[in-house]
Every structure is written in structure tokens, then in C-alpha cells.
């Protein structure tokens, strides 16, 4: 199993809803390797993830990344704050992907509209469908 992943708070839900689309070819390939190649494997629930407050493993090849920050840093910080609060996570926390899925599954109905406000992917419905599937499995 690979080393511990580093994730911004909003990337937990991004990983749940990921459907092979992204900001660039390199970004999409990287996210696919993390989500499909690691987290969605049978043993993916055991993968440890450290919550961070800046650019993380998913951000690495993002064309909007500027060092440890993002060109849309204010919007990203709002997403991270909302997701961190909703999931009960903060920078420095470490949890397994399975634990993250339990927290995600416990989100109340309509939570995505609030915590994902301002996300360009929200309108696509990918995360809402993934969340509904996760809730149905539990």
C-alpha cells in the first residue's frame, strides 16, 4: 500500500464524485491514479489520509496551482472550511478512507448545495449521484 495521502478537506467529496474529468490531462491522470488506482480498490478503505490546509496530492499537477495555493484561493478556502466543518475534519487530522466515507455518508440531505457552493462541478451532479449511491450502500 502507498504512503499516506495528503488531502484538502474538499477533496474528500471530490474523490467520491470523480468521474474521470478534470482541469487538464495531467490533473485528470493524477486524480484517476489516486481515486481509481488507490481509493476505489478493494483495500482502499484502509488508505490513510492526512488533512492539510494547502495544496495536496490531488493539486500537484493542477494548472491553477501556485505553490501551496490556488489562483482561486479565496473560493478554495471557503470550500475547505465548509467541508472541514461538515465532515468534522481539520488540518493535521489523519483518517482512513473508510472513515471518511462514513462521515460523508452521514451528511444530511441537501448538504452539497451548501458546502459545495461555488464549485464548478456541483451543477454536473456527479457528487450528488455518488453521495446517493454511498448512502444507499450503507
Rounded to 5°, angle at Cα 44 from 40 and 50 = 115
- The residues pairing with 51 across neighbouring beta strands, listed in sequence order, are 7
- pLDDT at position 127 over 60: yes
Q: Structural domain tally of the chain?
A: 1
The pLDDT of residue 15 is above 60: yes
Residue range 53-109, pLDDT digits in tens = 999 999 999 888 999 988 989 999 999 999 999 999 999 999 999 999 999 999 998
Mean pLDDT of all residues in 3-7? 92
Across-strand partners of 6? 50
pLDDT at position 1: 47
Q: Is the pLDDT of residue 3 over 80?
A: no
Query: Residue 121 sits in which domain range?
Result: 5-137
Closest CA to 130 of 2, 21, 5, 7: 21
92: Cβ contacts below 8 Å, ≥ 6 apart: 50, 51
What's the pTM value of the predicted model, to 2 decimals?
Answer: 0.93
Amino acid at each position: 500500500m502507498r504512503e499516506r495521502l495528503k488531502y484538502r478537506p474538499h477533496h474528500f467529496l471530490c474523490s467520491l464524485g470523480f468521474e474521470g474529468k478534470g482541469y487538464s490531462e495531467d490533473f485528470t491522470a493524477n486524480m484517476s491514479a489516486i481515486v481509481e488506482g488507490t481509493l476505489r480498490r478493494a483495500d482502499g478503505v484502509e488508505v490513510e489520509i492526512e488533512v492539510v490546509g494547502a495544496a495536496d496530492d490531488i493539486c500537484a499537477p493542477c494548472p491553477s496551482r501556485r505553490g501551496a495555493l490556488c489562483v482561486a484561493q479565496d473560493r478554495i478556502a471557503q470550500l475547505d472550511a465548509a467541508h472541514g466543518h461538515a465532515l468534522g475534519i481539520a488540518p493535521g487530522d489523519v483518517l482512513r478512507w473508510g472513515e471518511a466515507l462514513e462521515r460523508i455518508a452521514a451528511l444530511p440531505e441537501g448538504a452539497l448545495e451548501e458546502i459545495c457552493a461555488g464549485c464548478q462541478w456541483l451543477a454536473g451532479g456527479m457528487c450528488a449521484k455518488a453521495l446517493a449511491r454511498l448512502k444507499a450502500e450503507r
